Every structure is written in structure tokens, then in C-alpha cells.
Structure 1
Amino acid sequence: MAQHQATKPFQAVFQLKLKRSPDDPLSPLPKPLVPRKAHTKSRRGCQSCKRRRVKCDELTPTCSRCAGLNQECVYGGLPSLTSKTSSLANSPQSTTPPLCPSTHGMTVKMLQTDLDHVLRAEAFSPSQNELEPVCVRVLQHFQAATSYTLGCATSSEVMQSHVAREAWNHPYLMHMILAISCAHQRHLGTVKSTSIEARYWQNGLQLHRQNLSTLQPGRCQESFDAIVAAIFLAVMYTFSLDELMTSGSEYDFAPMAAIGGFESLYWLFPGAFDPSSRWLPVLLSTDDKDGTFTNMRDGVSGLPVAFVDLCSLDDDSTAYNNPYHKIVRTLTPILRLQPDPGNFATLFACLGRCYGNLRPLLLRQDPIALLLLAYWLGTLRQVDQWWLTPRVKSKCAVIVAYLSGIGDPAITALLPFSAAAASPNANDLWKTLRMVAEDVI
């Protein structure tokens, strides 16, 4: 038996998969062909849906998808005015990008019509033949370039995203942003005429004054953001006018007067500012948690010795018995700041707090007040923006020349800092500044 099993041949089993015949009734039936759902094709959808590659229901002025996502809905070939163009904003040789050919269609005409409607709500209107797409181009330049050059990063973001929208509800604000945009184009050399720029600015100021005359303190909270934006734009625009003004003009101290407008906020809006304001982070940045920049304590503690001696200050000095006390007290903490463009709001708030004390002294060309003003102008060099630096340098140079001619040794000894601020190469600017600021009582 064992021998029989040993001689049994080896067997292997192979499994083969056989194809069934089409005639075999057990063959599975093929899947039925499902036709595609009928739909209409259109190229008239909004730009946002096209970028996301989703179907747009083409509702106007905002499609359902953009409304649900709370996004800007832009139709036609006009590029979004809120798209960032960093290279354009940062390059002094840049110009406004040309409009694409499709912008000559209905979208631009509708935008032009809406913009004309806003601009005509003014003290006097341009003639009909002046209604041309130039204002659309100027508005585009503001959103694509100018808004990124106005102050620190926070204020620039508010200008670009919020102020441009607020302007459609406040005609004076629309005129102002068009004026500052024209000034920026003039600085870049892309335009030479200033007549349109002057008209925008004149209309903006007239409408702003009319609006302020109708407001009641404590009852105009809805206008807070627009008023703050108008004050910032007024400061920036008046600084940008340096190349158009001659020395000795009545506008020599116009930027300082514009900065003084911030004091009106405390009169129009008594108490705490609106916590929902987009400008609140900028306004809060003007002081620290210790109140360093708003501490107006009496006496001379913490003040530079050089300023104390020059202004005849003592332990009994206050803002009421010495005209220079509040100015020196306000100026001292900003002299200790490290150079940083982010100090933009703090530097301007400094002058805003003491302009009421400084103005009568400047009107009679008080030498000490002019010296303190030159020190403040010198600190603005750290911001270094197109609308600010030319006027800062020229005004510092004028003040230094005037004070040097007086020949007062006490004032001449303190001129190196302000003179450095007026020169193109101010390498020792901050070294001299800190030496004066740290020599305190």
C-alpha cells in the first residue's frame, strides 16, 4: 500500500477564468448611458465665480455665491479695484496700470455714472464737458497704489479697504481721496496739470466744512470713521503741497493746523470712541498702556536739561504759567522713540495735543517755538513717505537758516539735530536726538 502511494504520479490543479459568450443568458447587462444634464453656458458671470470655477447665477449687483461668502462681486472685464498691487504702490517709477479694452463697456459707464452722481453732490459742479473717465482712473490709482503709501501699515490697510467704500456715502471724502491720488500721480510725474487736483480738494474742503456745521456733539457717531479719514487726508495732502508753495506763504503752517483737527474729535465725540471703528487701532497706537505720551504732569521731572534751561522751566512750571511747558512735555517722549515708520500716528498725535499752545507762538515767529517745531519735524524723517519728506526737509532748512541768523548762542547750540534733519544725509540724526533726550532732570 505504501509502495502504491509512493508511485502515484504528482497532480496539480489550475483554475482558468473563461470569458462568457455574449449570447450567454448569465452575462451581465452593460450599464445604461446616462445623458448629461442640460445646461446653458454663459460667459457673463462675475469675476469671483470665474476665479473659483463655479457656476454664477449672474444676479446683480451681487450674485448669490458672493453674497453667501460676503465677498466683493465684480462683473465684466474691469479688474477689482481692491486687488493689491504692491509693486505699483512701492515703486516711485510706477504708473497706474492701463485699463483693459473691455472696460470701455457697460461696467465702466455704470461706474462713471455712479461716480459722477457722488461728485455732483458738491458746492459747485464741473461743466458737462469735464465729465470724462479721468475720475475713474484717479480712483483706480488711489486703490491700487496711493492707499498703500499713506502712513503705517494699519492706516494704509484702512485707507485701501474701508475709506474707499465709505467715500461712496460721503461726497467730501470721495473728493479728498481723488485729490490725494492726483497729488501722488503728480509726484510720480505721470500728470502735470493741477487744475483737476485743486478742484477736487476745494470741493472736498467745502463739503467737509458744510458737514461739520450740521453735526451735533455726541449725536454723530455714524460719521466717526469718515471724519477721522478726512482729517488724516487733510494732513497728508497739505504736507504734499510743499513743491507748489513758496517760502513765506500763508500756508507755511497749514499741515500743523490740519493736525490740530484731531482735537475736534474729543469735542464731537465726547467719551470713548466707537469700539467698532476701523480707525480705533490707529488712534489707540498714539499712546501706550502707561500713558507715556499723554502725561502732562507739572514740573520738569524727566524733561531734557537743554530744553528746561532754554524755556526757563522749573518745578512750579505748568501749561498755564509757561507757554512752552506743554510743548516740551509732549515732545520729550517722542524724541526717545527708536526710528520706525510704525510711529506714524504717535508722531502726529504729539503735535495735535499741543498745537493750541504752539500756534500763537509760531504766528509771531517765536525762536524757541520754531526750534521745538524743527525737532518735531526731524522726528518725522523716520516715516519717509512721498507726501511728507520733501516738506519736512524744506521747512527744517528754512527754520535752521532763520534761527542761525538770529545769533542766539542758547538756540544755536541746539541746532545740530534740526540741521541734520534738513540735510539729505542725516547719519547722525538719531545719535544727536538721543543725546539731547537722555540728558534729563
Structure 2
Amino acid sequence: MPVLLRSKDAPGRKRRAHAKSRRGCGNCKLRRVKCDELKPSCMNCMSFGVSCNYAQNSSSLELAGESVFQLQTHSPQSLSLNETMRNMINKSLMQVSPAGGVDVYQLTEDDLQVLERCQARTISSLAEEKTVHIYRAEGLKLTCCHPFLMHATLAIAMMHERVMAGKTFKEQSTAEIYHSYQATATFRSKLSGPLTPSERDALWIATVLLSTMSLASIDATAPEEAWPLMSSFPTDLDWLEMIQGKNVVWKIADLARPDSAVGRMVIGFKDSRLQAVAKDASGLQALPQELLELLGLDTCVVTKNNPYYRAALCLGNLFGEECNIATLALFYVWIMSMEAEFKQLLRRKDPRALLLLAYWFRKVRSRHVWFLWQRSVLECQAICTYLEQNHSDMPHLENLLLGLRY
């Protein structure tokens, strides 16, 4: 018969005697759960994806270096796990503000569910099949350590859900607006300071997310509300600047370094096809003769001083390509190799530059690329209407606009 002992702190309560072990790991002690004392890692730590530590002075939970976060929110048993994960992530997201003190964004249960849906759906819509697993594994670890990337991840996941639900830019939730703003502000602050290897990797992923968000952020819901028909604003072509900014961050991040955890994600940028899009002179031959004539590129001797030369060359090299997630990097070359003079022509609504942009929009308007669809459809149609209203005397205009409208 078991011996019943009376507890000192609960006089009326009885409990069974048992042998206590103090050899459990530090994480189980911290969480006050029974440890099975398996080494090198107990089952509790393996299940939770944290590093198992039997050191006497262990005082905090740390993410396991090889683990992949899997945020499960569908069963009652997962609630305590999510609370533990939130505490772990929130601790790693604490940062010292420039004015002193600590800035903390406390993740909520809803945030964890957004991150889970991001892993399941949004990431696969942004990365091609051969790299999506790297985004999900390494990208999530970085997200849980860097506030600017956490905000960007939450923002783009919310944006993806909104767009796929058929809601407009004007129907952004307060949470999406907040995370978009915080992502942009904290990202910019990181660009000017010294960076750790982990921050360099996170900076590149944040650049990809922010440039994608800029493409999807269009206020118009009809062509007549879209640029260039609407009144001009300094921010009209910010999406171009964001994509071109990847050139700068590419140099800062230096993903070719040996200690980069995400360098394998961008192997496509070294693809010889990308170089061909920007430099293969045969691209001009793929363009309509009427367009070449309009741009002054129909002569035997083509001068590279022509402000339309590079944009036309890249566009011609893309004519035989279909735009999807696997080929998206090729279509970004058109923007990332865009020269300053050509961008100025776009800002001034030069009709020839606008026509080249409309042709690019026609190539990238694919429902498989959710963040390009609305802008490419609305602004392409807006360009056609603008040219008809303001440059109807332009040679071959009617023929060149055929096929650009839906």
C-alpha cells in the first residue's frame, strides 16, 4: 500500500510518494514538464524543435539549428506549444531602439496562424519548386529572429490572402497596413548599419517580399483610375524602383559568401539565360517591324545611345517566354537592367517608352502570378487609352495596340 504524505504548502491535500529526478534537461525544467532524460536530445525537445541542453545553467529555450518550425494550430494540444513558440520568437524579436529602451512586437495566436498559412500557400506562390523548400526552412528561421523580416512576412501573407479573396488594395486590414509600414521602416534602418551574416540573408528575403508587395499594391480598380491616365504622383513608379533596388541589396547581402544560409535560393540569378535576355542582340529581330521603326531601331546600324535600345532588346528576348514563377526572374531582367534615361522617359509619359512598358505588361499578365495580375491588366489598358487620347497621330499606333487590350 502506498505511503501518503502531507504537502507542506497544502495541508489538506494528499499525494503519492515518488522518486524525484533532477537529471532532466534545462528546457524541461524551465517548462516544468517531466523529462525522459534521453541523450543527446530528449523527446520533448525534439518534438518542440528546440535545442536540448543538460547544462546546469541552462535558462532559456533556443531553436534547434536543424529544426524546421511547423506551426500547428488545429488541436487543443497545440495551444501550449504555440504559446511556447510565441515566447521564444518574441524573445528573439526584441531589439534595442535608437532612442534607447527595447522595441517589442508581441506575436499573437492569429499571427502564428498567418505564418502557418504563409508556409503552406504564400511561399509556394513566390518561389519556384526547386527553391521553395529553402524558403520554408531557412527563411522561417530568419523570420523568427529579425523583426523587419517578420513584419514583411506577415504583411505579404495577409496581402496574398486578400488578393486571392478578390479584395482590393483599399480593403487592406489594419494589421496588413501596420505590418507593411513596419516592414518598410525597419528594413530601411537596416540598410545603413553593419550587418551580421544572418541579417544579410534576412535582408535579401525581405527585399524579395517588399518588391513583390510593391507590385501588388495598386490603388486602381479600373483602367481609368490607373497610371498614366490618372494625375501623376511621385510614387507612381515606386514599384520599378523597388525591383531595381534588388541590385543594391544583392551586393550588400553577398549571398555567394560561404556562410550564407540562403545562397542556394538565388542560383537562378547566375543562369546564363538571364545574361542573354539583357545582352543578346538578336532580341530586336523578334519585335514587330512597325515598333522598331517607331523607336528608330530599324536601321542597319543600331546605336546603343538610342534611349529605347536596351529596353527593346530585353523585351524582344522575352517574346518567346511564358511568364510564371519559374521564369519570373527572366522578366525582372527587363526592369533591373533599365537605364535611368528610359525611366525618366516613363515618368514624363513618353509615348514610345509607354508602348514598350505596355508590351512588357502584356507578357507578364498571368493569373499564375497573383502579385502582377492586377497592375499588368489595368495599367496596360490605361496606357492604350492614354496613347489613343493623346498621341493618336503616332505612326502605326492602331496596329501596335492590337492584342494589348483584353
Q: Normalising to structure 1: TM-score of the pair?
A: 0.65
CA offset at residue 268 of structure 1? 3.1
CA gap 1:165/1:355 in 2 versus in 1, 3 angstroms: farther
Query: Counterpart in 2 of 1:72?
Result: 67
Give 1:204's match in structure 2, choosing from 169, 176, 183. Answer: 183
Q: 1:426: which partner in 2?
A: none
Shift, 1:144, TM fit: 2.3
Once residues 263 and 338 of structure 1 are traced to their aligned partners in structure 2, the CA distance between those partners, rounded to angstroms, is: 24
| 1:173 paired to 2:149 | yes
Contact 1:361–1:369 (CA under 8 A) maintained in structure 2? yes
Q: Where does residue 110 of structure 1 map in the other structure?
A: 84
> Are 2:367 and 1:372 aligned?
no
What is the letter of the counterpart of residue 206 of structure 1?
A: A
Measure how far apart 1:114 and its partner are: 3.5
Is the CA contact 2:280–2:317 (under 8 Å) kept in the aligned structure 1? no
**Which letter maps to 1:381?**
R
Counterpart code for 2:183: G
Q: Determine whether 1:56 maps to 2:43.
A: yes
Alpha-carbon displacement from aligned partner over 1:400-423 (angstroms, at most 9, x marks no partner): 11122221233332112322xxx2
Q: Where does the alignment leave 5 or more consecutive residues of structure 2 unmatched?
A: 1-20, 22-27, 54-61
Match of 1:273 among 252, 256, 259: 256
Distance 2:82 2:129 in 1: 30
Pairwise CA distance, 1:72: 2.6
| 1:330-387 deviation line (CA, Å, top 9, x unaligned) | 2111112245542111111221111534321111011111111111111112462322
Q: In structure 2, the residue corresponding to 1:153 is in which secondary structure? A: coil
Q: Would you say the 8 A contact 2:128–2:325 is kept in 1?
A: yes
Aligned CA distance change for structure 1 residues 160 and 113 (closer, same or farther; 3 Å): same
Match of 1:353 among 333, 337, 347: 337
- Trace 1:2-401 onto structure 2 (pairs within 5 A): 56=43, 58=45, 61-63=50-52, 72=67, 80-81=70-71, 99-105=74-80, 107-117=81-91, 121=95, 132-189=108-165, 194-215=173-194, 223-242=199-218, 247=226, 248=230, 250=233, 251-265=235-249, 267-268=251-252, 273-274=256-257, 278-280=262-264, 282-285=266-269, 287-288=271-272, 291-295=275-279, 305-313=289-297, 314-319=299-304, 321-338=305-322, 340-354=324-338, 356-382=340-366, 384-401=368-385
The residue number in structure 2 matching 1:415 is 401
Q: Is the 8 A contact 1:237 1:387 kept in 2?
A: yes
The answer to whether the 8 A contact 1:341-1:382 is kept is: no
Worse-superposed segment, 344-353 or 302-311: 302-311
Counterpart of 1:25? none
Looking at structure 1, the residues matched to 270 and 75 of structure 2 have their Cα atoms a distance apart, in angstroms, of 42
The CA deviation string for residues 412-435 of structure 1, in whole angstroms up to 9 with x for no partner, is 32112322xxx2xxxxxxxxxxxx
Q: CA deviation at 1:213?
A: 1.2
- 2:279 is paired with a residue whose SS is coil
Amino acid at match of 2:381: A
The AA in structure 2 aligned to 1:342 is A
Query: What is the rounded CA distance, in whole Å, between the counterparts of 1:197 and 1:262 in structure 2?
Result: 23
State percent identity of aligned pairs. 22
Listed one character per residue, the Cα deviations across residues 66-121 of structure 1 (whole Å, up to 9, x for unaligned) are: x9x985377xxxxx23x9xxxxxxxxxxxxxx63223332x222322344445554
Q: RMSD of aligned C-alpha atoms?
A: 4.2
